[in-house]
Amino acid sequence: MERKTLYNVAVVGATGAVGQKMLETLEKRNFPVGEFRPLASARSAGQQVTFKGKSYTIQEAVPEAFEGIDFALFSAGGSISEKLASAAVERGAVVIDNTSAFRMLPEVPLVVPEVNAHMISQHRGIIANPNCSTIQMMAALKPIYDAYGIERIIVSTYQAVSGAGQAAIEELREQSRQILDGVPIEPKILPVKSQPKHYQIAFNAIPQIDVFEENGFSREEMKMVNETRKILGDESIHVTATCVRIPVFYGHSESVYVETRKPFDLAEVRSLLESAEGVKLVDDLQEQQYPMASDAADQYDTYVGRLRRDLFHPRGLNMWIVSDNILKGAALNAVQIAELMVKSK
């Protein structure tokens, strides 16, 4: 890529929940944007979005729309990425993709900047954002992995509805009103819009995110398994995940149990997390301080707390990890990747 002071940026899926946060994050972090080009489906083309105080008309996402673009941030669904990412690359853009379309391809770097930024240089035009739940877990576990190694991870997630898109946010809001007013509800979105059965999310917890695989795990759970091993470059790590949707708008929470390879010192673990980039330790039980989704919402950091040595395994470590799934879990991570590329080039 030619060295520039300013870079032409396209956001694909600019009207969606993540797309909107991408615009906001690019602006807040003062990314050096030259031309800004919001793209979306034909259905959304012609709508207006605001970026840096200026109104822009959304264009339809077609191959020609990527002419002259340096960075194309994709967040419009895997089928759109599969259809258009190569067209963007052919026209000279670096694609930073927020979908699962390319994550597990060997030639595509799967990057969390605080964890494996060195992989960015190996891209062939496409860099993948990991799954939102994987990103926050990797940010918290990387310093522990570097210091002691990790043999096993058991994670249970409690995921906000914003991870399922704007329609799921509206469904939670509407269902909450209806239930409190004593009005019958008719679920239409969760757990998976394309599947025949839908369940109440307001005042409930649904132990399904994405479709189920033949092994009994959901696709979301298998993303955490496979992406963790790829990001850390360690196929020997055993990962088990259970992913649950809960009635929270923003912020994924995770209960994580880790078995390290070498014995760890709990005080040193605290020190490692306190100094880790992008991580904030909130762990004072006497003051009842621990991470909560309501505190992490709209924040850049990944919050870690409830650190404790396991009662029965000498190398077992328990923790609680919370982060804004739309920011660090999606939009912020993508912008950070672009920032590193600008800095390195």
**Residues catalogued as catalytic:** 132, 252
* SS3 (DSSP) at 23: helix
Which of 16, 21, 13, 9 is closest to 329 using CA atoms?
A: 21
Whether the Cβ atoms of residue 37 and residue 13 lie closer than 8 Å to each other: no
Classify strands 316-323 and 302-309 as parallel, antiparallel or unpaired: antiparallel
* Alpha carbons 327 and 342: distance in angstroms, whole number: 20
Q: Read off the tokens for 63.
A: 């191959």
* Alpha carbons 104 and 20: distance in angstroms, whole number: 26
Which of 37, 12, 253, 250 is closest to 155 using CA atoms?
A: 253
Whether the Cβ atoms of residue 256 and residue 321 lie closer than 8 Å to each other: yes
Sheet hosting strand 126-128, strand order edge to edge: 59-60, 33-40, 7-12, 71-74, 94-97, 126-128
Classify strands 302-309 and 279-281 as parallel, antiparallel or unpaired: parallel
Q: Read off the tokens for 232.
A: 């850390």
* Alpha carbons 110 and 102: distance in angstroms, whole number: 9
Q: Which helix (H) or strand (E) holds 245?
A: strand 238-245
